[in-house]
Amino acid sequence: MGWYEITDDYIKDSKINLPVCETLQMRDVYGGTQRTIYRVDQSGRQFPVWTINENIENGVLAIVSADPRAQVPAGNAIGIIKYHTMSSRTQITLRRSELSLGLTDYSHGHEINFNGCNYRWVMSKNTMSTTTLYLKTDGNRILARWSGKPEGRAGDPSPVFELFVPPQTLDMDFLVVTGLAAAGYWKKADKLKSPISKILKIMGGLGP
């Protein structure tokens, strides 16, 4: 178990009833000035693993280890995500290696090549909501889900990653960095759909 075959470029999530092997929960800390991602074990205990530092002015997210002693090499971010002004283009660096986040053929998600394997972050076919994304392999095996606005969690609105495979079988840094990048892409793209943004984009295209 731990996988589900799908033929579409996006997910029919009403048919998915997979056991969750592990949950990662993102919470605001220090009065909302910083975000931390916790691993939640089966007993509900939470362990901080990643910290997200955001530079809003420059549109940059840096994902670092919540424990500086675990940072390798010391002082370097695990992942860096850079969003471009007036564009939904995204640059990703994972452990100092650049990754390409490209739209899938039907623009229902993104595909990433990592260590010679192809992965996709795709949205739900039922809702077409950009706040719920699924990570699957090129062979259509579903690995994880990102829920930016999770439901059914006793009223807890904190974003979560849910793994449908044992965490030791997946590069967790890859999961977190690319998942946040894909989610951030859609959040920024949705903002660019506003009337003012459309006018600015048209004006930006005028001239010689």
How far apart are the C-alpha atoms of 15 and 41, rounded to whole Å? 26
Q: Position 135: which residue type?
A: L
* Contact indicator for 187, 130 with CB cutoff of 8 Å: yes
Model pLDDT, residue 156: 64
How far apart are the C-alpha atoms of 177 and 77, rounded to whole Å? 11
Model pLDDT, residue 86: 64
CATH 1.10.10 fits 13-204, yes or no: no
The string of pLDDT tens digits covering residues 123-166 is 876 667 788 899 999 888 899 999 987 765 555 678 999 999 99
Per-residue pLDDT for the chain (208 aa), expressed as one digit of tens each?
344 444 445 566 555 778 999 999 999 887 766 899 999 987 888 999 999 988 877 889 999 999 877 666 666 899 999 987 666 678 899 998 999 888 876 667 889 999 999 999 998 766 677 888 999 998 888 999 999 877 655 556 789 999 999 999 999 999 999 999 999 888 877 666 654 444 433 433 333 2
Q: Where are the domains of the chain?
A: 13-204
Model pLDDT, residue 133: 92
Widest pairwise Cα distance in the chain: 62
